[in-house]
């Protein structure tokens, strides 16, 4: 479950940086990719933890 923490550690500054640069499309893509990765990681964790 520690993966989610590390993922947020790089995604949040990246989205803020991209928003300031005006690259809204890349910001949204990075956020969507991070959410999909977190959901997949959580599903795999639950599958193994059972």
- Summarised one tens digit per residue, pLDDT across range 3-50 is 777 877 889 999 999 999 999 999 999 999 988 988 888 888 889 987
| Residue matched to tokens 């933890």 | 49
Q: Residue 24: what pLDDT?
A: 95
| Residue matched to tokens 């639950």 | 46
Q: Residue 9: what pLDDT?
A: 84
Structure-model confidence comparison of residues 39 and 2, the more confident one: 39
CA nearest neighbour of 17 among 35, 34, 30, 4? 30
- How confident is residue 1, by pLDDT bands cut at 50, 70 and 90? low
| Residue matched to tokens 């893509």 | 29
Q: For the chain, give the number of residues.
A: 50
Q: Kindly report the pTM of this predicted structure.
A: 0.76
């Amino acid at each position: 479950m520690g993966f989610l923490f590390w993922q947020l550690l790089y995604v949040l500054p990246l989205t803020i940086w991209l928003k300031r640069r005006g690259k809204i499309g890349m910001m949204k893509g990075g956020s969507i990719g991070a959410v999909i990765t977190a959901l997949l990681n959580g599903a795999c964790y639950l599958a193994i933890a059972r």
